[in-house]
Structure 1
Amino acid sequence: MSLRGAYAFPIAAVLLWGGNAVVTKASAGVIGAAEIAFWRWLIAALVLLPFALPTLKAQWAEVRESVGRQAVLGLLGSALFPTLMYLAAAHTSAINMGVIQALMPIMALGLAMVLFRQTFSPVVWIGALVSLLGVAVVVTQGNPARLIAQGINPGDAFMLAATACFALYSTLVRKWRNALPQVTCLLLQATSASIVLAVPFALSHRTGVNAANLPIVLYAAVLASIAAPLLWMGGIVRIGPARAANFFNGLPVVAAALAVLFLGERVTLAMLPGALLVIGGVMLAERYAARAVA
């Protein structure tokens, strides 16, 4: 496959994840957070099962050894991350969600210091501060001083918590690498998430899956939960993690464009410099972090 063809994998993944920010925002008011999170991962597990079944039989010893770690990953990446995103959607815009989610690589670098005892150039932390300033500009509509006077919007706080969960998930995926196929790992994570989410699903008010929310549930279950992760992993294999990370930095732009196109959200003047600060800070940090790892 040509390099140009290999780039299609991370680009497609980012497009699907950007679309998921829009779909998540659209879910507010038509289906509950616990409800869509439960159906999302139950459907994903059922879709993945036939593809993972041969590995479950052939490598059962490895599967059994990995179940505990995959359950933790499922709790972080498949249960907490999307549920917090759905809660955020009721209080903030899809554009804000996309910008905040772009902080994930920065958070992952911080966790790498703790889990892998890595040290980074001061430039990495300058990049992190620039990105945080960019998020502050976006969420306060150009007036970061409002954070002191009014505090952070609940939706943006939920999204920050969701991004932290996904950063920890991504860091542990690296730390707990195993020889199992990605499809099998996704199945184990989706199954554990379904079990965990069954409790809030049973205790919460349920709208039920209907014609209005079925496309949203299916997008989240199939495209955002299965297709996007597999495309992303395929991109990493073909072009490497450093190059793939550069495509993830385009997530705020994709989410904003889709939110304007499909949800009618407005891009304010404050959002533009804020988004540029986030993307620029992340790219700066990743560049110097990659040198440190090398």
Structure 2
Amino acid sequence: MWWAVSLPIFAVLIWSMNIAVTRYVSDYISPVSISFYRWLVAFVILTPFMLPKAWQQRQLIQQHFMQFAVLSAFGMVLYQGLAYSAAHYTTATNMGIINAFIPVFTIFVSILILREIPNRFAVVGSLLSFFGLLYVISRGSFANLAQLGGHWGDVLMVMAVFFYAFYGVFLKKWQLKVPLLISLYVQIAFSLVYHLPFILYFGLDSINHDNVASVLYAGIFPSLMAPLLWMLAVQYLGPNRTSIFMNLMPVFTAIIAYFWLREDWTVSHTIGGVIILLGIALAQKKSLSVKNST
């Protein structure tokens, strides 16, 4: 069904566009501010529809209260907050490529939390992907890695992706029997609470004509529309087939960044990106249980 295949493609396109938006708006609003506004917009939109349902399911929500708190911390605050911070120091192209590293990190986090022992394909593929990641960060010359200050944004993005891997593994471990939209709504509520100490410390930038479009995009499309499209894709295509489309994110991000942000696509991006994707494909071979968690 061609329309079912289009669902994950549009979802990945929205997320890729958000990486470019994150890089663009970094000059107009602080990471804490856009992260808070993003989830505030999503929360306001969802509240008229989801608050009555959440109240009806309040006992179920209370049962998984701490799990929702942990999921929100890793998936919405640490991942998104670090990504917004990384945008100040690196390119959208690099962010997109590093984001493709999530399946590999998920394998290693699964070892820690689920005690899943990776097979030889996962080990070799992970090492290959890590080599490709270092190649991209070093811009094709590993001697450049000594200049740690010049790679601060890439390091932050790697940390963000690492935390998101925890999010995926926790989802698999707990397998909460909660409607997905209620789960999303509760996690967003937690994320707003988590932002309060950072807002008190760093302050909150105002919304103006330079950043309002980016804030609304982040709050509507990647926060609400893309997850909905992705969930529908999983329903029609299955988790394994759907997860393959996530490999399009570096490609979509690079294209958007090239035409919109005028970022250069270099030979090191091509070589490193291909190595990373090959490593991911190899790591997922005969490791479907791990891939499902991403």
Q: TM-score range by the shorter chain?
A: over 0.9
Amino acid across the alignment from 1:95: T
Superposition pairs of residues 73-152 of structure 1, within 5 angstroms: 73-147=71-145, 149-151=146-148
Q: 1:195 aligns with which of 184, 193, 196?
A: 193
Report the CA distance between 1:276 and its aligned residue.
Answer: 0.5
Question: Is the partner of 1:288 in helix, strand or coil?
Answer: coil
Q: 1:238 aligns with which of 225, 236, 239?
A: 236
> What TM-score does the superposition give when structure 2 sets the normalisation length?
0.94
- 2:243–2:291 CA contact under 8 A, matched in 1: no
Question: Is the partner of 1:145 in helix, strand or coil?
Answer: helix
Report the CA distance between 1:292 and its aligned residue.
Answer: 8.4
Amino acid across the alignment from 1:120: P
Taking the aligned partners of 1:7 and 1:46, their CA distance within structure 2 comes to 30
Could you say if the C-alpha distance between residues 293 and 24 of structure 1 is closer, same or farther in structure 2, counting changes exceeding 3 Å?
closer
Superposition pairs of residues 136-175 of structure 1, within 5 angstroms: 136-147=134-145, 149-151=146-148, 153-175=151-173
**Identity of aligned pairs, percent?**
31
Q: Cα deviations across residues 25-60 of structure 1 (Å, max 9, x unaligned)?
A: 011110001111111111111111222223223222
In the alignment of these two chains, the number of paired residues is 291
- 1:32–1:205 CA contact under 8 A, matched in 2: no
Question: Is the partner of 2:267 in helix, strand or coil?
Answer: coil
Taking the aligned partners of 1:166 and 1:280, their CA distance within structure 2 comes to 21
Query: Which residue of structure 2 lines up, in the alignment, with residue 287 of structure 1?
Result: 285
Could you say if the C-alpha distance between residues 258 and 69 of structure 1 is closer, same or farther in structure 2, counting changes exceeding 3 Å?
same
Taking the aligned partners of 2:185 and 2:98, their CA distance within structure 1 comes to 27
Structure 1 segments unaligned to the other structure (5+ residues): none
Query: Which residue of structure 2 lines up, in the alignment, with residue 210 of structure 1?
Result: 208
- 2:106–2:290 CA contact under 8 A, matched in 1: no
Amino acid across the alignment from 2:272: G
Does residue 54 (structure 1) correspond to residue 47 (structure 2)? The answer is no
> What TM-score does the superposition give when structure 1 sets the normalisation length?
0.94
Report the CA distance between 1:293 and its aligned residue.
Answer: 8.7
- 1:30–1:207 CA contact under 8 A, matched in 2: no
Amino acid across the alignment from 2:120: P
Does residue 269 (structure 1) correspond to residue 267 (structure 2)? The answer is yes
Report the CA distance between 1:171 and its aligned residue.
Answer: 1.0
Does residue 44 (structure 1) correspond to residue 42 (structure 2)? The answer is yes
Taking the aligned partners of 1:235 and 1:213, their CA distance within structure 2 comes to 31
- 1:67–1:188 CA contact under 8 A, matched in 2: no
Taking the aligned partners of 1:56 and 1:274, their CA distance within structure 2 comes to 45
Taking the aligned partners of 1:72 and 1:189, their CA distance within structure 2 comes to 9
- 2:20–2:253 CA contact under 8 A, matched in 1: yes
Superposition pairs of residues 55-70 of structure 1, within 5 angstroms: 55-70=53-68
Structure 2 segments unaligned to the other structure (5+ residues): none
Q: Cα deviations across residues 203-233 of structure 1 (Å, max 9, x unaligned)?
A: 2144310111011111111111111122212
Amino acid across the alignment from 2:243: A
